[in-house]
């Protein structure tokens, strides 16, 4: 279950192909970010930094999608990333500092594999 935020809240929903999202939350106060993208070849860069808790939930459905997420600060970090595709591989690059907690799920039907998942804590 996610925790209550008294600071920053962001919810983004995109339906389409070849989009680039650069999402940022910083400074004091809790940070909660929900991102849902349907389509192919989309790129998400998400950054949560500063004091207070961070929660990130990202869902990508389509082919060739990727997400790079960074959660930094001196408090609790939680991330849930889900990539579902039936064609080109998707990739995840997640970096967390302090209080790191994550769940990454990929579902794909690609003979060559699902893509790269990198977690740094």
Q: Quick: pLDDT tens for 65-118.
A: 999 999 998 878 999 999 888 777 788 999 998 777 888 887 777 666 677 877
- In angstroms, the CA 38 to CA 65 distance is 9
- In angstroms, the CA 16 to CA 79 distance is 24
- Residues 6 or more apart in contact with residue 1 via CB below 8 angstroms: none
pLDDT in tens, 36-54: 999 999 999 999 999 888 9
For residue 103, the SS3 value is: strand
């Amino acid at each position: 279950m996610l925790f209550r935020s008294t600071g920053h809240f962001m919810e983004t929903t995109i339906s389409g192909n070849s989009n680039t999202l650069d999402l940022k939350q910083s400074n004091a106060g809790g940070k909660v970010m929900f991102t849902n993208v349907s389509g192919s070849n989309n790129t998400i860069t998400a950054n949560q930094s500063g004091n207070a808790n961070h929660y990130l939930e990202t869902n990508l459905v389509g082919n060739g999608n990727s997400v790079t997420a960074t959660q930094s600060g001196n408090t609790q970090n939680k991330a849930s990333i889900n990539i579902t595709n039936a064609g080109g591989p998707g990739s995840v690059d997640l970096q967390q500092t302090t209080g790191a907690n994550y769940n990454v799920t990929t579902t794909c039907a690609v003979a060559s594999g699902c893509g790269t998942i990198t977690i740094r804590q």
